[in-house]
Amino acid sequence: MSEVHHIEELIRLEFEVRGIIEDLKVCRGPRERLTRLNAAAREKMKKVNGKCKLLERIAIEQDGVEDQKRIEATLLTHKEEASKLQIQLRKATLICEEAVQKAERDILLDAGSKEERESELRHRSRDSLVHSANNVTENLVHIREMMATSLDQSETTTEVLAGSSKTVSHAHEELKTFSSTVGTSRILVNKYNRREFTDRLLIFVGLLLFSSTVIFVVTRRLFPSMFQ
């Protein structure tokens, strides 16, 4: 495998390390992510150092001085780059470590604040339950008083209805008596009407007989020849 291929691999590994460094700079946790990024960075830097050692051997094995110097110059550049990457990696790791610690402290503080809030909520809930229980008790007392008042009103209404029922019964009896009296009066009126008719008939018959007698007497005196 030529030195060109190894240099290309070295450049690729350096690029991947730079990517891990950028990830560490923006990492805010959790700690497991920091551990994974550090492990990946160490693995990449190990391969970078391995490639640098391999290029050293290739440079030594070169027959030409110019080729050897060319490879050594390239190797020096990548060694300096590896040193820079190592320093940047430590700084990025410290930044990530501080961010993770801060996040963990915030979680602990949030947990404490959450417990305080939960305790306050429990206290408020207990007070609210006591207040609600008192309100329910007061409402039950009020309802009991209303039911007692309604019961008294119902008893009064029952008594009034009973009295009204007696009055209606008495009025019904009086109406029956009145109806009986009216029936008797109607019978008497009918009898009176029949008696009046009979009296008028007798008077008419008596007047007719009287008139006939008068006419007979007057006729006989005025026309005696009619009766000889």
64-89 pLDDT per residue, tens: 888 889 888 998 999 999 999 999 99
Q: Which CATH class is domain 3-117?
A: mainly alpha
4-40 pLDDT per residue, tens: 888 899 899 999 999 999 998 888 878 898 899 989 9
38-57 pLDDT per residue, tens: 899 999 999 999 989 988 89
All structural domains of the chain with their residue ranges:
3-117
Q: CB under 8 Å, gap of 24 or more: what pairs does 39-47 form?
A: 41/17, 41/89, 41/93, 44/13, 44/16, 44/17, 44/20, 45/17, 45/82, 45/85, 45/86, 45/89, 47/13
d(CA 73, CA 3): 13
Alpha carbon 6 to chain centroid distance? 69
Average pLDDT over residues 162-169: 58
Both tokens assigned to 133: 């229980």
**pLDDT value, residue 146:** 56
Distances (CA, A) of 54 to 1, 49, 65, 68, 159: 11, 9, 18, 13, 119
**Model pTM score:** 0.46
